[in-house]
Structure formats: C-alpha cells, structure tokens
Amino acid sequence: MNRLKTTWFRRGVPMLAILLLSGCSSLSYYTQLASGQLALLRAREPVSDIIADPQRDPKLRDRLLKSQQARAFASQHLHLPDNQSYRLFADIHRPYVVWNVFATGEFSLDPVTHCFPIAGCVAYRGYYDQNAARGEAALQKLDGKDVYVSGVEAYSTLGWFNDPIISSMMNWGDERLATLIFHELAHQRFYVKDDSEFNESYATFVEEEGTRQWRAARGLPPETASSETQRRDQLTQLVLNTRDRLKALYAEPLGADVMRQRKTAEFERLRSEYRQMRDSQWGGDKRFDAWVYAPMNNARLLPIGLYDQWVPSFEALFRQVNGDWVAFFAAVEKMGALPKEERKAALERLAKP
C-alpha cells in the first residue's frame, strides 16, 4: 500500500499533482516529497533509447528488452493502461526508491494513518531519504509509538505520472519484473481511496493471473509454488495468528506492565513456533531468521498479509465473468463504488466456497 508525467514536467504541472498528493502534510515533509519525486522524474529516459544504444550495459539492455515484451502484453492482452509508464527507466543509485515508516500505539494494531486528497488514507509515510525516514521513526518512538521502517523498491503514482522502471527493481528476475509491471498498472487501472486491503488484493490478483497468462503466451507451463513461497506463506500465517492474539490481548482491561509482559510473550511464542516449524518441516532452512529475530513490535506486523487478504475473492469474480478482463474490471469498479462495509461484505461472499 505496500506495495510520479514526462512532457508536463517542464511545464510545472507535476508540482501541482505532488501538492494534491501531499495535502496538508508539514512543510518539511512536503519539501522532501517534492524534491524526491522531481529527482525521479528528471532521471527518466526512454527504454527504447537504452535498448538501441550499443554503448549501454548489455545486461541492462537485455533486461529492459524483455520488460517491454511484458509491458506490451499488459496493455494488449490484460487491458491495462497503454501509456508511457514502465516504458521509461530511471537509475536512482540507491537500493530503494523510498522508505516507508509504519507506526502504531504501544498496545494497538491500528496504524497511524496519513491522509491525502488523491491517494486517500494509508498506513505509512514515505521518505526518499533513509535518514529522513529514520528521523521520523525516532520522533514516533519518543512519542511512545511502535515503529517500523521498510525500504520500497517500486511504487505507483496511480497514473498521475508515467512511472519508470527503477534501477532498484533490476535485481529481480525477468518474470518478477513483469509481475510488478502488471501489479502497478492494475493500480493505475483502478484504485479506491482509503481501502488498502481491497486495492492491494485486487492488484495482486491481476499480477498473479497476468503472470499465468504471460507464461502461457510464451509456451511455458504454469509456475508451481516454490519451497520458498510455501514457507513464506506458512510464516505469514504464523504472523497473522500472532496478530489475532495481540488484538484480543489489547482489548483486555490490563495494566500497562502486565500488558507489556504479555505482549513480549506473544512475540516469543511467534519465534518459538517459527523455530519448531523451521527445524521440523523446513530442514533447518534459516532464510527467514533475520526477519523473525529482529526487534519485534506491532508496527512490524502491519504490512504482513496486506497484499493478499481478498485475492480469493477476486479469483472468484474473475471466474464469474469467464475470464473476460474487460468484464472483470467493470465488476471491480462497480464493487469499488460501494460503501466500504458493503464492499467488504461483497468480498466475503465471493470468498465463500
């Protein structure tokens, strides 16, 4: 929620768009948002120029050529927006394009939200500079909040700008890069303010189904779930179970000291259950140890599960329209126009067998 236009830039229109995106944020936050976004706009160059230039890195040219095949497929076959997004490239010379700061109360799983006129309310604040993100996190900690800072390799501006392929995305494999293009273009195709679970689950379904069709179009078999994917799903479920227990705990009428002890115990239970699963089912695979054994708090749990809560509902909707993308997007837009509680009820009905 998670999980920025070319020719207009020189005329100043994007500055107005950034103002709309930032809303009533503090001046310092607005300044870094504007400067970071403008730097990204300035760094863009047409992918076609890079591919055609024999002086550029051959590996980069090959990766971008393959990305454009997926980009064309997205518009021609998945009916996603046909614009200059992901037909541009930007080298930002850093591992992440932004760092998101998540915060909650000490005894709450409700995020500190930030609301913008266009994007709506989201559960984080983004910073183009890592030190700025750490500074914001430090201030939130001083205020007694649980805080988590997470690097982000890509994001969508919902069509306000032509989003580039960013150098931070180039460590991924060719297919992972294609899936991200499908995901972010889905956000451009449709977005509902103030409903991250809906938006991310919808875009994740488009990503997954789009990737399945992209593989089929190239004569490749359906991708089977890797052991890493299966293990990530199992870990996700452990985290969601922990979140449910914490939510119940925070609803109890307990003193702060007792609540703090019980909270710590829940995180230790998560680690214990993880160790048991890792050693008994995964053959001791320690690839997730760094995440599990890092300092744990409420905010660190926030992004987990955000992207796939309603994916089964969108799968069911796609089946209802017999795999017709145009009809699917029309149905998604109709559902998105419902009041939030009615929308959630519709998703719940779709999720039932």
pLDDT tens per residue across span 8-19: 222 222 333 334
- Average confidence (pLDDT) over 257-274: 98
The span from the CA of 305 to the CA of 299, in Å, is 13
- CA–CA distances in Å: residue 48 to residues 39, 84, 171: 21, 11, 20
In a domain, 118, yes or no: yes
The span from the CA of 198 to the CA of 321, in Å, is 19
Claim to verify: residue 53 and residue 124 sit in the same structural domain? yes
Weakest mean pLDDT among 98-112, 151-165, 220-234, 262-276: 220-234
Claim to verify: residue 109 and residue 144 sit in the same structural domain? yes
pLDDT given for residue 102 in this prediction: 95
Widest distance between CA atoms in the chain: 68
- Average confidence (pLDDT) over 295-304: 93
pLDDT given for residue 117 in this prediction: 67
pLDDT given for residue 12 in this prediction: 28
| Domain boundary, last residue among 217, 244, 266 | 217
pLDDT digits (tens, 9 = 90+) for 119-144: 678 888 999 999 999 999 999 999 99
pLDDT given for residue 39 in this prediction: 95
- Average confidence (pLDDT) over 97-108: 96
The span from the CA of 327 to the CA of 68, in Å, is 26
Claim to verify: residue 202 and residue 263 sit in the same structural domain? no
The span from the CA of 71 to the CA of 90, in Å, is 16
* Amino acid identity at 31: T
Q: Residue 43 in contact with residue 161, Cβ under 8 Å?
A: no
- Average confidence (pLDDT) over 261-289: 97
| Domain boundary, last residue among 185, 217, 249 | 217
In a domain, 16, yes or no: yes
Query: Backbone dihedral region of 305: left (phi > 0), alpha (psi from -120 to 50 degrees) or beta?
Result: left
Claim to verify: residue 75 and residue 170 sit in the same structural domain? yes
DSSP three-state, residue 166: strand
In a domain, 1, yes or no: no
Weakest mean pLDDT among 52-66, 106-120, 195-209, 281-295: 106-120
| pLDDT of 193 above 90 | no
C-alpha closest to that of 95 among 19, 166, 179: 166
In a domain, 306, yes or no: no
In a domain, 170, yes or no: yes
- Average confidence (pLDDT) over 211-234: 88
pLDDT given for residue 5 in this prediction: 25
The span from the CA of 22 to the CA of 30, in Å, is 6
| Domain boundary, last residue among 217, 235, 270 | 217
C-alpha closest to that of 194 among 305, 33, 340, 346: 340
Claim to verify: residue 257 and residue 185 sit in the same structural domain? no
The span from the CA of 90 to the CA of 46, in Å, is 9
pLDDT given for residue 306 in this prediction: 66
| pLDDT of 263 above 60 | yes
Claim to verify: residue 51 and residue 132 sit in the same structural domain? yes
In a domain, 254, yes or no: yes
- Average confidence (pLDDT) over 62-87: 97
| pLDDT of 307 above 50 | yes
Please state the domain count of the chain: 3
The span from the CA of 316 to the CA of 346, in Å, is 11
Claim to verify: residue 164 and residue 293 sit in the same structural domain? no
| pLDDT of 30 above 90 | no
Burial status of residue 178 (CB atoms within 10 A of its CB: 0-12, 13-18, 19 or more): buried
Beta-ladder partners of 127: 99
| pLDDT of 34 above 70 | yes
Claim to verify: residue 253 and residue 281 sit in the same structural domain? yes
What the block records as the tokens of 96 is 């992440």
User: pTM for the whole thing?
Assistant: 0.84
Claim to verify: residue 257 and residue 148 sit in the same structural domain? no
- Average confidence (pLDDT) over 47-65: 97
In a domain, 42, yes or no: yes
Claim to verify: residue 48 and residue 192 sit in the same structural domain? yes
When mean pLDDT is compared over 19-28, 69-78, 105-114, 225-234, the highest value belongs to 69-78
Claim to verify: residue 71 and residue 123 sit in the same structural domain? yes
Q: Based on C-alpha coordinates, what's the Rg of the chain?
A: 21
Claim to verify: residue 197 and residue 273 sit in the same structural domain? no
Q: Whole domain around residue 316: which residue ranges? A: 311-351
- Average confidence (pLDDT) over 199-226: 92
- Average confidence (pLDDT) over 69-92: 98
The span from the CA of 195 to the CA of 21, in Å, is 16
